[in-house]
Amino acid sequence: MDTGHLDPGNVPADPMELFARWLAEARAAGCHEPEAMTLATTGADGAPSARMVLLRGADARGFRFFTNRSSRKGRDLAGDARAALTFYWYPPGRQVRVEGDAGELPRDESEAYFASRPRGHQVGAWASAQGQVIAGRAPLEQAYADAAARFQGGPVALPGYWGGYVVRPRVMEFWEARTDRLHDRVMYLRDGDGWTRSRLSP
């Protein structure tokens, strides 16, 4: 067993433990925005689409992010909960892939997160019909000014269309760069309450 590198024999039984360690190591290595992840979803016509979102927590429940639920990604997930996430960290040259089902976070959790955001972000959530075609920047800035005026002097309420998701992993794969393209890949597959681990060819 090569204990110095990624190997199914020397990784934690729980992939979330390894994920937390790699995220912390990416941050310590100076990787910019290590919480940025690609989220892939599937539309009603079967076409995939992908975009970046920010990880806002990862634990035994899965990977959390927040967005406008009326957006393309939100509509996709309402029709097909399957989602895929990808992280890439350089340095140190690592990738994590996640596949699983996305479920909506309870409203109180979305409210707590929304309340923690800067006020400008909260107002922006009211101003933007994410993904809709707009005639220019002026209507967006007007919508922002209207929302700011509406909530002036009080807290900004959580819009009904805005909230969080948690992706519960079914498959997770950890990839680490090695020389001569002989990279290390370890795949975890959910198996009842636990996980099985395998090495994949690079």
Interface with ligand FMN (CB under 6 A): 33, 36, 49, 51-54, 65-68, 71-73, 130-131
Whether 86 contacts 38, CB under 8 Å? yes
* CB of 186 vs ligand FMN, minimal distance in Å: 26
φ, ψ dihedrals at 49, nearest 5°: -145, 155
Partner residues linked to 99 by β-bridges: 84, 171
* CB of 77 vs ligand FMN, minimal distance in Å: 10
Q: Rank residues 14 and 59 by Cβ distance to ligand FMN and give the closer one.
A: 59
119 is catalytic: no
Q: Rank residues 52 and 115 by Cβ distance to ligand FMN and give the closer one.
A: 52
* CB of 136 vs ligand FMN, minimal distance in Å: 18
* CB of 74 vs ligand FMN, minimal distance in Å: 6
Distance CA 11, CA 151 (A): 50
Backbone angle region of 90, left / alpha / beta, with phi > 0 → left and psi within -120 to 50 → alpha: beta
Marked catalytic residue, from 72, 82, 178, 181: 181
> Roughly how many angstroms between the first and final C-alpha of the chain, as a whole number?
18
φ, ψ dihedrals at 97, nearest 5°: -115, 140
Residue with tokens 């350089």: 90
Q: Rank residues 42 and 130 by Cβ distance to ligand FMN and give the closer one.
A: 130
Whether 101 contacts 61, CB under 8 Å? no
Q: Rank residues 7 and 42 by Cβ distance to ligand FMN and give the closer one.
A: 42
Whether 39 contacts 51, CB under 8 Å? yes
Please give the positions annotated as active site.
Answer: 181
